[in-house]
Structure 1
Amino acid sequence: MTLGSGEMFVRAQVHPGRQDELNELNESFNQMVEKLHRLIDEVHTSELREKELVIKQRETMLKSMQAQINPHFLYNTLEVINSYAILENVMPISRMATSLAALFRYSITNDSEKVSLYEEMKHVQTYLDIQKERYEHLTVQLQWSWDDLRYIQTLRLTLQPLVENVFRHAYEKHERYPEYIAIQGEPTPKGYRVTIIDHGGGMDASVMEKLNLAFRSSSETEYSLPGKEHDEDHRSGNVGLWNVHQRLRLSFGEPYGLYISSSSSQGTCMEVQLPAIIGGNEDAKNDSC
């Protein structure tokens, strides 16, 4: 193999005992290659440490925000609200107080970040229960097998931000009433696919293409995400998607993460690929948006 073949760490042939100029040149070349190899390893190690530092800083910030709320005070307050609501027979308030308590309890639990999809879906269902109280005509369709979810792995608070993103950016941003959201789950040969569907305003084809390109790339920076500086809300939504994708990709590797299969003025279909805890399912369905 030669250097011209594109192999960066090819070695020149050195003949032991020979003292000619060509042999010395080959030895110098090999030393240069070894030094280059060490430098690349050092740069890679430095980048990994920098990324770990950024993740730790974000985790510290999240924990700091969580610590600002005394959970016992919050739960006791919600319990009082729930009690008064029951006494006055105002059941919508009772349901919202109970759901809100469950929502906060899941959000600030200090358990392992990795959870089963069953736990995360229960949390999403609680979040949607609150939204259904807010939006009387909201249609919610949930299609999956609860038994399947116990064997699928995800991270705490990955799906709920995506569902929340639907209300903020698919509906509120386009000044539309939240009328429909569906969440479907199905096994795939690679693990499990969760699909989130809405009937909101969607996004431009160019934005969808750039997001999917970012999701497919090996880059771990958000600078290539679509969104103009004057539209900070738009960009924050894209960054939110990117953060969820990166958390999944860093924890589980490829091919796990997000993919937007379609988006238009009629709505958006987003897919989340997750790994199975124990093996996969060869009887996967092939249908999607």
Structure 2
Amino acid sequence: MRRKTLSGQIYSYFLIVIILSLLSVGAFSYIQSSKALDGQVKQYMEQMIDSASYQTDSYLQAYELLSNTVSSNSDVRSFMEMKPDDSYEYYVYSDKIKKFAEASVQSVVTLYKQLNMIYVVGQHGRSVIYENQNLLNFDPVLVQEQYDNLMKIAGDGKIALLNMSIRPVDQGSVVTMARKVRGPSYGDENRGVAAIEIKLAELAKTWDRVSLGKEGFFFIVDDTGNYIYPPTMGQRKPKDELSSLILASGNQTFIHKYNGEERMFVSRKSAYSDWNLVASMPVKELRRPADTIRTTTLIVGLVTLVVALWLAYRFGRSIIAPIRELKESMRETEKGNWQYIDEIGRTDEMGGLIHSYNLMVTRLSDMIERVYEAELEQQKNALELGETKLERQRAEFQSLQLQINPHFLYNTLETINCYAIVQDSSEITEMVEAMAFMLRYSVQTNLEEITVANELNHVRNYMIVLQHRTGKEFEIDVAIPPSLLLEKMVRLTLQPLIENIFQHAFPDGVESYHYIRIDASKEGGLFQVFIEDNGIGMKPEQLAELRRKLEENRLAEPEEVEGKGSLERGGIGLMNVHRRIQMVFGEAYGLSVDSGWGQGTRLTMTMPETARPRIRG
């Protein structure tokens, strides 16, 4: 199985983080920008169509006023009642209608350019056709054919917009606005049709303002599915698939494949003319800005990825290189070659680690030299002092070795235990086992988190040794709920407090009414352990002095007490426990003391309920 390297793991993690970041940012940006652009284009097309529809309706309403004027003219209505064979009467009405048409058109100059012709046709077959100040004559059969069509399509008294012309040559280039006309009496039935033909070329100037890019286009479909504009669309069959979709969509936007290309169609139906004004643009053109954003994002992302991976590679090398150098130096040190590492130019944490390594190597080298010198000196003295002193010096040297190497003491205690078992001494066995467990637990000097159960077990071993030393039995009341036995706390904090109680709370010895109680609780994000006794307690000035020392947040040092030959250690254990809790969990936690003279003492260790250890260098 291939071993994973630290540099490979750092590089892999950097790669995953960078790729995930780029993918998430790129995808989110592309999706959001695409939606925003689609919405803006759709809104732009809708505004263009709404504007074109409004202007078209305005033009057509102006023509409707002209149509109303023509259809309500008394001469036009009388013309519908004339005798078809009376040439004189026809001449009179034709001249009157021509003069009326000229006056009407000249009064509305803005309509002049768009106007193709004005004509009235009666059911008697006679017609008056006016074009640009002239009266035209048409084939009566053709006129009758158009009249029949107009009478079928035109509404009763309402305006009808028709894609037709009375003149074949104008078919497809004009749109006809027609209205049925009654006789002189308003109660009469419809006697004919008055129609106005409007040039699409002039009206199209309004529609040509709809800017839809190179591949976009604008067209109009009437309510029967016929294509009104542009003329090229008139070649399509009425009510084909496209016009059917437009009629069915109403004012909705839809996407349809037109001439092998997907296009977006935005339709608006005019409330006045019942025309459907439609704008169309290719989907690929709509998505072109989004595609540009996507391409740019990919290019920038790839460049960023390459640069980030290069930086990650350099960063990994800057971390791994000194670690590898430190690893090789430690291998040489294991072989007995005291190898030092150059510290020049290294001021970061790695430099501090290398400095500590060099300092350790220096001290180990000095200690080895001292041991060798002591051993040589002992050998010299052994030769001079004789066999007895030599044996004594060997014992002292072995004692020194036991202090340097705790494993020697472990083996010695195991040997004593074996002898106790052979001699059937359960007291010695129990005491040695407890002492060995305490020693193994105590020599681990790192401030790591352990469980409450571990600390209670250490206290139990301490009580075993203490009871064998004093010959008195004493039980500690443990009231900690089972659910809190696996909570985390700092190593070697509970036993020193118990030892402090035995040393100072019961100065006259432990009596049967004395007690020590250990309890714990969790509340408000805090985990607290309480150690309470009913000893002599503390005087107010002693309690104030102890609290002042706890507030200084410093590890205590033993001090010489005047008039005594030994070191006074009262309070050292408490302050060290307090400071070590703060070194692991932070300044907000630690040990607090409540006591009264003759009323006992209550010690409280406060730690976070759930926290990671914070070891400060």
- Give TM-score scaled by structure 2 length: 0.31
Mapped pair 1:201 → 2:536: yes
What amino acid does structure 1 have at the position aligned with 2:412? T
Give the Å deviation of 1:193.
1.5
Relative to structure 1, the CA distance from residue 66 to residue 108 in structure 2 (aligned partners, 3 Å threshold; closer, same or farther) is farther
Relative to structure 1, the CA distance from residue 163 to residue 66 in structure 2 (aligned partners, 3 Å threshold; closer, same or farther) is farther
Mapped pair 1:162 → 2:497: yes
Relative to structure 1, the CA distance from residue 90 to residue 180 in structure 2 (aligned partners, 3 Å threshold; closer, same or farther) is farther
Structure-2 separation of matches of 1:88 and 1:157: 33
One of 584, 594, 613 as aligned partner of 1:251 = 584
Give the Å deviation of 1:268.
1.8
Alignment of 1:2-21 (within 5 A): none
Alignment of 1:164-183 (within 5 A): 164-171=499-506, 174-177=507-510, 179-183=514-518
Structure-2 separation of matches of 1:66 and 1:145: 43
Alignment of 1:247-286 (within 5 A): 247-277=580-610
Q: Aligned with 2:570: secondary structure?
A: helix
Give the Å deviation of 1:136.
2.2
Larger radius of gyration: 2
Give the Å deviation of 1:221.
4.5
Relative to structure 1, the CA distance from residue 109 to residue 91 in structure 2 (aligned partners, 3 Å threshold; closer, same or farther) is same
Structure-2 separation of matches of 1:262 and 1:221: 22
Give the Å deviation of 1:147.
3.8
Relative to structure 1, the CA distance from residue 82 to residue 123 in structure 2 (aligned partners, 3 Å threshold; closer, same or farther) is same
One of 428, 437, 442 as aligned partner of 1:93 = 428
Summarize deviations over 1:141-189 as a string: whole Å, max 9, x none: 112134423232x222122211111122223xx2323753222222232
What amino acid does structure 1 have at the position aligned with 2:440? R
Relative to structure 1, the CA distance from residue 185 to residue 70 in structure 2 (aligned partners, 3 Å threshold; closer, same or farther) is same
Q: Aligned with 1:273: secondary structure?
A: strand
Give the Å deviation of 1:228.
9.5
| 8 Å CA contact retained: 2:554, 2:575 | no
| 8 Å CA contact retained: 1:203, 1:263 | yes
Relative to structure 1, the CA distance from residue 193 to residue 112 in structure 2 (aligned partners, 3 Å threshold; closer, same or farther) is closer
Show the counterpart of 2:569.
Answer: 236
Structure-1 separation of matches of 2:431 and 2:560: 37
Give the Å deviation of 1:99.
0.7
Structure-1 separation of matches of 2:444 and 2:429: 23
Relative to structure 1, the CA distance from residue 222 to residue 76 in structure 2 (aligned partners, 3 Å threshold; closer, same or farther) is closer
Structure-2 separation of matches of 1:157 and 1:190: 23
Structure-2 separation of matches of 1:88 and 1:67: 25
| 8 Å CA contact retained: 2:533, 2:602 | yes
| 8 Å CA contact retained: 2:519, 2:531 | yes
Q: Aligned with 1:75: secondary structure?
A: helix
What amino acid does structure 1 have at the position aligned with 2:562? H
| 8 Å CA contact retained: 1:118, 1:146 | no
Mapped pair 1:141 → 2:477: yes
One of 151, 166, 183 as aligned partner of 2:487 = 151
Report the identity percentage: 34
| 8 Å CA contact retained: 2:442, 2:492 | yes
Q: Aligned with 1:250: secondary structure?
A: helix
Show the counterpart of 1:36.
Answer: none
| 8 Å CA contact retained: 1:151, 1:278 | no
Give the Å deviation of 1:254.
4.2
Q: Aligned with 1:68: secondary structure?
A: helix
What amino acid does structure 2 have at the position aligned with 1:94? T
Structure-2 separation of matches of 1:165 and 1:265: 17
Structure-2 separation of matches of 1:272 and 1:66: 37
Summarize deviations over 1:119-138 as a string: whole Å, max 9, x none: 22222222123223334232
Aligned length: 213
Q: Aligned with 2:562: secondary structure?
A: coil
Give the Å deviation of 1:102.
0.5
Summarize deviations over 1:34-60 as a string: whole Å, max 9, x none: xxxxxxxxxxxxxxxxxxx9xxxxxx9
Relative to structure 1, the CA distance from residue 210 to residue 190 in structure 2 (aligned partners, 3 Å threshold; closer, same or farther) is farther
Mapped pair 1:81 → 2:416: yes
Structure-2 separation of matches of 1:111 and 1:214: 24
What amino acid does structure 2 have at the position aligned with 1:169? H
Structure-1 separation of matches of 2:563 and 2:499: 19
Structure-1 separation of matches of 2:518 and 2:502: 14
Structure 2: 5+ residue stretches without partners: 1-355, 357-362, 368-399, 613-617
- Give TM-score scaled by structure 1 length: 0.61
Show the counterpart of 1:126.
Answer: 461
Show the counterpart of 2:222.
Answer: none
